Every structure is written in structure tokens, then in C-alpha cells.
Structure 1
Amino acid sequence: MAVKIKDVAAHAGVSVGTVSNVLNGRETVSPAAAERVRAAIDALGYVRNDAARQLRAGRSRSIALIVLDVGNPFFAAVARGAEARAAEDGYVVLLGSSDGDADHERLYLDQFREQRVAGVLLTPAVPEGDVVQHLASAGVPLVLVDEQTDSDAACTVSVDDVEGGHLAVAHLLAQGRRRIAVVAGPLTTRQVADRLEGARRAVAEVDGASLEVIETDAMTVLAGRAAGEALRERGDHPDAVFAANDLLAVGLLQALTMLGGIRVPDDIALVGYDDIDFAAATVVPLTSVRQPAEELGATAVDLLLRQLDGELDPAERQVRFRPELVVRASSG
């Protein structure tokens, strides 16, 4: 049977109110009584029912963060930024990974709402899906992370991925490359579609340049390696590749250089996206488009907390960062 606060009070020989004062850090308890309470807590193994306490207080101290893939270092960095900012105000972040599955996402949302989270930070599994209105109708404060929306029901924190795609391919074209391939994840993913749009705009600005799109079913190292093996086996391969994220780029690099004898950047120049932590440490250091991942997470928490406090100006509901090209050896 779970130990209750009255059991602690009885063991320590104090009132329930005294135990509550100790648990909440109030200074109205004598040092001797406080020591007896702490000893009783240790002896009995008491664990405070924080959910009930928060419900009585009217606000939870936890925030839900649901991302597309927690195994992607980009989203891990987003989570780090969110956790650091939340801790400044005494909140904790509960993390879930939808794996891009709408049903999995809804399961997490339902579970976190049962935990009475203060609000939700979400990278939606389905762009422009009904999840925003679903949460808004339930009165759940929401910030979309690495996503945009035309709805007034949610704040957003995002990066201009069209500009990012343009930066990547304009750089390759400036190196004299003309046959550009984009190795993309699923084109239904908003971020992929925007990066591809930026790439197309850059190619359209240069006479004689061409663009080939190679769609993959995932944005992982294995998917990138498979795309690289397919390119290696072709007789006529592109002279430059823009990968829609760094995991794809790492897989491509493995297949082209370590397995296939194609020289990067001599034969194929390569640019990735996200500038994850180990992009600079690959066998050929990877040129990448940097997103401020930790700042995205921190800003999302900041917007959510300001919503909760009623301090958010409507003009500040949409925050958009600009990407930055980080040039390394893989692009020449």
C-alpha cells in the first residue's frame, strides 16, 4: 500500500500541515521538526503525489514535447534547448517520439493530457492535420516546433527551409557544379518539400543547371546509404548532391567514399542539412545548413510559458529563424 502524508506525520510525531510545509520548502517549521519529517520520509519511502498537488494548485509543472524522431540528433538538440529553458522556470519536459505516425502521435497526446501537462510542444506527424484544432478545442496551449501553420490556434517556431535549400544548392552551383541531385526524404514532409523548393529556385537562376530528385522513404543513415549505392552503380552520376538532412548525407558519404571509391568532393560535392554535432567529424567533414536547434526548443518553451502567463503579444506568436550555411570539405 502506498505511504500517505498522514503516515509520515504519524511517524514523525507532527501534524499533516507540518509535513506539507517541509515538502513545499516553507521556513515555518523548526529545524528539529523538519529533520524528523525528512527522516520519516526516508524510513517509509514516501513519494509525493505531484500530479494531485499540481491539480490542486491549478497548473502542472510539466510540458510535453513530441517530435518526429528522437533518434535524430537535430531533435535531440531541440529537446536539450527545451529542457534547459523549462528548468529556468521550474518545469520539466516529457518527451515523446511519434516516428511520423499520426496514430502514435495521438496516443502520446492523449497520455500527456491525462498527465495534465501545462502545454504541448509539437512537430506534427501530418502537416496541416487536424491536431492543432483538436488541441485548441480542448483548451490545450500549443506551440508547433519546426513547423508553420496558417491557423491562429497555435504559436510556431520554425526555420526558413526554403531559404535553407536555396543556400545549399546555390553554394554547389557557385562551385561550378551543374548536375544537381536532391536526395530527399518523403516529399509529404513539409520541411523536405520546402528545402526542395529552395533547391529548385537556385537551379532556375543558373543557365545550364539541372535538378534530379531522389525520394527516400526515410531520413536516416541507412536510407542515405541506399541512395548512395544506387548513385554509385549508375554510369552517369550527378556532380553534386544536396541531402535533405545530415543523416542522409552521412549515409551517402559512406556509400560513395568508403564503399564505392567515388571521391567527395572531387567527383561528387555533397551538402547536408541541420549541421548536427558530428557533421564536422565525418570522414570528409560535411558542409551543412545549420538550424539553431537548441534555440528552437528554448524559444518554443518561452512562447508557451508566456501564453500561460497571458503575456504573449499576438504579433509575437510566429517566430522564424534564418538558416546558415557552414562550409566544410565535402563541397570543395
Structure 2
Amino acid sequence: MGVSVRDVAAAASVSVGTVSNVLNRPAKVAPATVERVMQAIDDLGFVRNDAARQLRAGRSRSIGIVVLDVGNPFFAEVVRGAETRAAEEGMSVLVGNSDENADREDGYLDLFREQRVNGVLITPASSDVPRLQRVQDAGIPVILVDSEIGDGSFVSVAVDDVQGGYLAASHLLSKGRRRLAFVAGPPSIRQVSDRLEGARRAVGEVSGAELEVIETAALTVLHGRTAGEALAARDAAERPDAVFAANDLLAVGVLQAFTAAPDVSVPGDIALIGYDDIDFAASTTVPLSSVRQPAHLLGYTAVDLLMKELDHASGDRHVRFQPELVARQSTAG
């Protein structure tokens, strides 16, 4: 017969409930007690039966997270932040990449419901509330990450992207630039529309300034390069004198196109700023100015909010961080 939780509790001189907390919520147990229980587990060769535990509890030890692009270093860092906080609770994180596609997102939401995850963290591909509400109605808390939707019925952690867009455009305007272009991703993505709103507000405050919007199908380097090539192909007088890209990947693509063009210099002819301040923004051919978001903290805080929801704890259900302007060579002068 196998070793049971009761055997571990007896060997460690603690209650069965304490052993359960060590296995599932170690942060709630004194470190010395955790060490004693883990030593008893090692000594006895105890192996937990997760399948049986999940059936009894109706939950797994997992948290689901769906991001727009797992290949984007910004979202990779968000996931790392979530993993850090989840590990403190003895939980693991299951990652889904929606690729900015609502159908793929739905598939992951269905999978996470089947897996009986403790909660779903999500950066939605659209503002379609009913899809998320179905998950929440199934008894699985939904935490919005880097996003806010609807009437506040979903717990959220986000960055003030309207302010971020304002910071980016104001910075370009402060450099004397007046013909701005916003290289955007799909307008259905809230972050894109909010950053555009902020940029428009800044441009509206400066006489003679104008803002052109250039939509792209996705927030990737390839789509940024295509947009940059189209701008570089214009007559010099028809080009903007500054570009604000909706994220750093787009900005890197735009920079690649401008660098390859024989008669476009950055920042001499066109100043360029991105958004997110991913790690390699500082090491591009021309170091890239950007608007910094606390990516790791977003993921960490999302799991922290989930834990409070699961514990029915009181407190703020909506956390909003402020972005920070990081000026580098691409907007110098």
C-alpha cells in the first residue's frame, strides 16, 4: 500500500491540513514547517495523486494564461512574472498563444475549462465580453492582463496606455516634429486604440501638428518593415518627420526599412519611437526610444489578484500602472 498524506503528517508531527497547505499553498505555512514536511515526504517516498486530488477539489494546480504573441519579448516577460508568483503558491502556468486570433483564443479558453484551471489570465484579442463571461460563469476567475474591458466586472491589471500614447507623441513633438505617423496594429486590440487616443490628444495640443494612422494586420517586425518600406518609398516631402509605432516589434521593422533606404536617416529625417521597451530596444542599430511597461510586474500582479479572488479577499480589483518614457538615439536631436 502506498504512503498517504496521513503518514506524512504523522512523520512530520503536523496535521493533514498542514501537509495539504505545504503541497498546495506553501506560502501560507511557516518555512520551518515546510522544511519538516518536505523532509518527511522525501524520507517516506510520498508521491501525490494529482488526478485524484483534482477530482476531489474540482481544480488543478494550474493557472491558464493567454497572450497575444508569445514570441513578443514583452509577453514572454509577462508570463515569467506570472510564473514567479504562481510558483510561490505551488502552482504551474499553462501558456496559450492566441496570435491575435479570437478563434485560437476561444480554443485555449475551452481547453483551460476542461483542465479545471484555478483561473485564467488573458490579454484578449478583442473586447468580446461574452466569451470571457462564459469562463467566469463556469466558476473560473478571469483576470485581464495589460487590458481593461467593459464595466469593470473583470478583475484587471493594466498600464495607462492612453497616457503612454500621449507620452510618446509629446516626446516627438517636443523635438520639433510636426508630421507624425502612428504605425498601428489591428484597431480591435484595446492597447492599440488607447495608444492612438493618447497620441491624438498630444497632437491636438500643438498648432500645426498632424497625425497619420497606418494600420497593420499584426504587431510584428515583418508588418512594421512593410509599413516602413511604404513610407520610405514616398517622395521626401510626403513622408512624416516622426513615427510612433504601437509596439517595439513594429518599430524594429520600421527601423530596418529606414536603415535599408538610401535617403532616410533616423533620427535625422524621421524620428522613431516604439512601445514596451523590450530588452533589445536599446541594442538596435539605432537605439530605440520607447515607452516602458512593467511587464514582469504585470504578470506577477495578475496572479496575485487571482489568489485574492480565490480567497475571496477584499481589496482593489483593478490595478493600473503608469508608463515611463525612455528616450534614446532614435529620437535624439
2: CA distance, partners of 1:279 / 1:33: 46
C-alpha spacing 1:34/1:328, structure 2 compared with 1 (3 Å)? closer
Q: Give per-residue Cα distances to partners, 1:265-305, cap 9 Å, x unaligned.
A: 00100000000010001000000000111111011000000
Give yes or no for contact 1:136–1:153 (8 Å, CA) kept in 2: no
Which stretches in structure 2 are left out of the alignment for 5+ residues?
A: 14-36
Residue matched to 1:168: 168
Deviations 1:104-150 (A, max 9, x none): 11111111111111111011122143123212221111101111123
Question: CA 1:32/1:140 → structure 2, altered by over 3 Å: closer, same or farther?
Answer: closer
Aligned residues: 306
Equivalents in 2 of 1:276, 1:158: separation in Å?
17
- For residues 223 and 200 of structure 2, the distance between their equivalents in structure 1, rounded to whole angstroms, comes to 22
Per-residue deviation, 1:99: 1.3
Q: Distance in 2 between matches of 1:222 and 1:287?
A: 19
Residue type at the aligned position of 2:276: D
Larger radius of gyration: 1
Deviations 1:19-77 (A, max 9, x none): 55678996379x99976x64xx9xxxxx8542332332454321110111111111101
Separation of aligned partners in 2, 1:269 and 1:151? 38
Counterpart CA distance in 1 for 2:181 and 2:227 is: 11
What TM-score results when the alignment is normalised by the length of structure 1?
0.86
Work out whether 1:27 is the aligned partner of 2:29.
no
Flag the 1:112–1:255 CA change in 2: closer, same or farther, 3 A. Answer: same
Residue 286 in 1 paired to residue 278 in 2?
A: no
2:204 partner amino acid: A
Structure 1 position 88 matched with structure 2 position 91: no
What is the rounded CA distance, in whole Å, between the counterparts of 2:53 and 2:320 in structure 1?
Answer: 37
- Whichever residue aligns with residue 180 of structure 2, its letter is I
Mapped to 1, the partners of 2:150 and 2:10 lie a distance apart of 44
Q: Hey, what does 1:253 align to over in structure 2?
A: 255
8 Å contact 2:125–2:188 — kept in the other structure? no
| 1:196-215 Cα deviation digits (max 9, x unpaired) | 11111111100111111111
How big is the shift at 1:153?
Answer: 3.4
Of 297, 303, 306, 2:305 maps to: 303
Q: Residues 257 and 77 (structure 1 numbering): CA distance in 2 closer, same or farther, change over 3 Å?
A: same
- Check the 8 A contact 1:216/1:223 in 2, yes or no: yes
Q: Deviations over 1:172-191 (max 9, x none)?
A: 00000111111111112111
Compared CA separation, residues 212 and 286, structure 1 to 2 (3 A): same
Residue 287 to residue 26, structure 1, CA distance change in 2 (3 Å):
farther
Residue 27 of structure 1 aligns with an amino acid whose one-letter code is A
Q: Please, which moves more after superposition, 137-146 or 148-157?
A: 148-157
Code of the aligned partner of 1:129: V
The SS at the match of 1:319 is: strand
Q: Which residue of 1 aligns with 2:225?
A: 225
Residue equivalent to 1:328: 328
In 2: Cα distance, 1:26 partner to 1:97 partner:
44
SS in 2 for 1:238: coil
CA RMSD between the two structures: 2.3
Which of residues 273, 277, 280 is equivalent to 2:279? 277
- Is the contact made by 1:22 and 1:34 (CA closer than 8 Å) also made in structure 2? no
* 70-79 or 56-65, larger mean C-alpha shift: 56-65
The whole-number CA distance in structure 1 between the counterparts of 2:40 and 2:159 is 55
Maintained 8 Å contact 1:243/1:249: yes
SS at 2:297's partner residue?
helix
State the partner residue of 1:53.
53
Aligned to 1:9: none
Kept in 2: contact 1:133–1:153 (CA 8 A) = no
**1:124 and 2:124 aligned:** yes
Q: Distance in 1 between matches of 2:229 and 2:73?
A: 24
The separation in 2 between residues aligned to 1:188 and 1:91, in whole angstroms, is: 32
Spell out structure 1 runs of 4+ moving beyond 4 A.
Answer: 19-26, 31-35
SS in 2 for 1:162: helix
| Candidates 265, 290, 294, aligned match of 2:267 | 265
Moved more, 148-157 or 233-242: 148-157
Partners of 2:291 and 2:325 within 8 A in 1: yes
Distance 1:189 1:91 in 2: 30
Whichever residue aligns with residue 297 of structure 1, its letter is G
Partner SS for 1:157 = strand
Q: Give the distance between the partners of 1:312 and 1:327, measured in 2 at CA.
A: 39
